[in-house]
Structure 1
Amino acid sequence: MDVDIARIQTLTRTLDQKAADNSVANKLLEKCGLSRPEVEALNSGISAKTEALFTRYACDALGDPTFAAQAGLAFKSSSSLTAYVSKYSRDLKQVLENAARYHGLIDPALRFSLRVAGNFATIEAEWKDASYARFHRRTEFLMFAGLSRLRDLTQIDFYPIEMCFQHEVGGNKAQYQKLAGFPVSFGTERLEIILALSTLDLPVPTYDPKLRQHLLEYGDRVMADRRQPKQKLRAQVEGLITRSLPGAILQAEEAAANLGLSTRTFARRLKHEGTSYREIVDDLRCDLAQTFITNGMNLTEIAYSLGYADQPAFSTAFKRWTGQAPSTFRSRLDPPPQG
């Protein structure tokens, strides 16, 4: 499914500014099978996975894991249906209710909901396709971009009580805190933004009830006509494994049972998709290991998170996947000394 082109446009512009040379972004776009003209075309679209990979590559190229969050805070405009409905909503509460209602039209991976309890409100994000949970930088971009959009709509730079992420970022927590200017927590149970209850009453200056009603009716028709794409078995398996972490990796029999399949049917369907359970586990572990190293987690933590008995076992596996030791991979990520 294609996602809002405005997001990668923001990522590309921000990368151009940070790198002081658009050749960096051009190379990364090419690596993702894109070109600058395609990204700048208003009517084009890109897949959610391509967006996720570009975000990751940009952070790695700059040697700055917080780049995605920085780009998110620079995100303002969007031409999606959700954006237009939000623009003509009465207040922030109505914006969030509408976003929860139609967000499935613009992102295949996440769903949002608004929860009000006591003296605070929570914008809670939940994975529809948990295979995307591995893309930590994209998750950070989306959460900070969501905050930026809400600020832009109300024309008020309000601050959340807290923003929470389920993944860890090792020793980089202070950088996110400094960038945000409010508490940012990692390794939490939920992916969410916690707001003061009064924030929901912030008015939207562009409120237009007639336009909003027209767009709501149109949005409902689009939702009714839209068919949900069927997830491949591999994506469902990746989601199961991701949700089971940190700790022991699910056995194939457990994964099959979770999906209501016999072990034999499970293996046969994966083979039909050109893969196997062992291959999926290895690919996911390899991908997450590189992300965890980039996040600044130590090797013992990573070994535990990925279900290995000890660090040597993890290091052996990492070298088998990548041809290099984890310490070598980490040293190549370090930015060159300034001078």
Structure 2
Amino acid sequence: MKPLVRNATLSNYVELSQSLGIDPRALMKRVGLDPAGLAVQDRWISGEAVIQLLELSAAAAHVEDFGLLLAERRRFSTLGPISLVLREEPDVRSAVELLVRHEHMYNEMLHSRLSEANGLATLKVNLELAEAMAARQATELAMGAFHQVLRTFLGARWQALSVCFTHSAPTDHATHRRIFGPVVEFDSEFNGIVFYGSDLNIPNPMSDPLLRTYARQFFESIAVSRDTTVLDRVRDLIEVLLPTGRCSIEQVAGSLGVDRRTVHRHLAASGETFSSVLNATRAQLAEQLVTNPRRSLTDISGLLGFSAPSAFSRWFREQFGCSAREWRARGTGQRPTGEQRPPAVGRRRTAGRA
């Protein structure tokens, strides 16, 4: 399966494109991305499509630094749930190591590495692509994002010793100088940021020791290995697509960067179908949502992707043997004796996937 990235990778893409006089929606459709989907930050989309989109956008806007301009508009929270944990790490070293170790939770194409030697620290940044393609803009976006994270911890006046790019220099260096300072090197042997190793020992000014344990516990509940299966990906995409009303195998396949037959094939290998995974995911979410008295059943119907409350009511009774209102009235959320739990897919929580 081709690598994916979170929708948040394109945070502020529409605004930047419009400011440069290009049509972001037309360009997104050209590479097979759904413009409306950008509203769901934690949805996963094709990494290769994002790379192509950034290159097309740079060409259409006649700028060589589109990716860097996009990085400049990012916020710390763009990283998603992992940003909550990073904020409470005790020092820069632990924060950067955590970000590198769990990069697959926000970008499956990214392969970064932190090393130290002779008093210097080097954060190398690479994109692992399934096939050769121009990726200058995506590389500069990733580099700009990492540089921004370091400045979040080290202060706005912090400056690296050198910021290296393997690609050639742009005609105009103004954006690079504004963001990185006069330390940018092009035609380098690697893409990365070099700085003093002692910077890694600087305490994190945002950290609250009282919250650190809670942050770590939260992280352990959402952290996943790199060996996420196609079944996991489909299940998580269904969860985030249900509230949009556009949860279909076509939407899921598009997010995974494959066709629907490929999704069917992978699910069949796990003994599942798209319908079975959709139904099991809905059932699990329904159990959680219906027991919450603060949510109306009409709202829950929409969150589960039903076109009307009546459709939700019929489905719920078929699945649980009683109405949603009766289930809630019992107050415990326990299934009556003799009722069978609907077929469910084995599930584990993931960060930012749904």
Q: TM-score range with shorter-chain normalisation? A: 0.5 to 0.7
The Cα shift of 1:225 comes to 5.8
Counterpart of 2:32 in structure 1 is: 33
Counterpart of 2:148 in structure 1 is: 148
Distance 1:171 1:16, change over 3 A: closer
Counterpart of 1:203 in structure 2 is: 204
User: How many residue pairs end up in the alignment?
Assistant: 225
Report the residue type matching 2:167 in the other structure.
H
Distance 1:65 1:227, change over 3 A: same
Q: Does the aligned pair in 2 maintain the 1:159–1:182 contact within 8 Å? A: no
C-alpha separation in 1, matches of 2:154 and 2:218? 19
Counterpart of 1:266 in structure 2 is: none
The Cα shift of 1:206 comes to 3.9
Distance 1:216 1:125, change over 3 A: same
Counterpart of 2:73 in structure 1 is: 74
Counterpart of 2:15 in structure 1 is: 13
The Cα shift of 1:59 comes to 1.1
Report the residue type matching 2:204 in the other structure.
P
- Aligned positions of 1:156-305 closer than 5 A: 156-169=156-169, 171-173=171-173, 176-200=176-200, 201-207=202-208, 208-218=211-221, 220=223, 222-223=224-225, 226-227=228-229
- Aligned positions of 1:14-163 closer than 5 A: 14-19=16-21, 24-76=23-75, 77-129=77-129, 131=131, 134-153=134-153, 156-163=156-163
Report the residue type matching 1:118 in the other structure.
N
Distance 1:105 1:133, change over 3 A: farther
Greater helix fraction, Structure 1 or Structure 2? 1
SS in 2 for 1:150: helix
TM value normalised by structure 2: 0.56
CA RMSD across the alignment: 2.8
SS in 2 for 1:78: helix
Q: Does the aligned pair in 1 maintain the 2:121–2:194 contact within 8 Å? A: yes
| Runs (5+) with no aligned partner, structure 1 | 230-339
C-alpha separation in 2, matches of 1:139 and 1:87? 25
User: Which structure would you say has the larger Rg?
Assistant: 2
Q: Which moved more, 1:68-77 or 1:39-48?
A: 39-48
The Cα shift of 1:153 comes to 4.9
| Runs (5+) with no aligned partner, structure 2 | 232-354
Q: Does the aligned pair in 2 maintain the 1:26–1:36 contact within 8 Å? A: yes
TM value normalised by structure 1: 0.59
SS in 1 for 2:78: coil
Q: Deviations over 1:175-209 (max 9, x none)?
A: 53355323111111121111223322151414432
Distance 1:17 1:209, change over 3 A: same
Report the residue type matching 2:18 in the other structure.
D
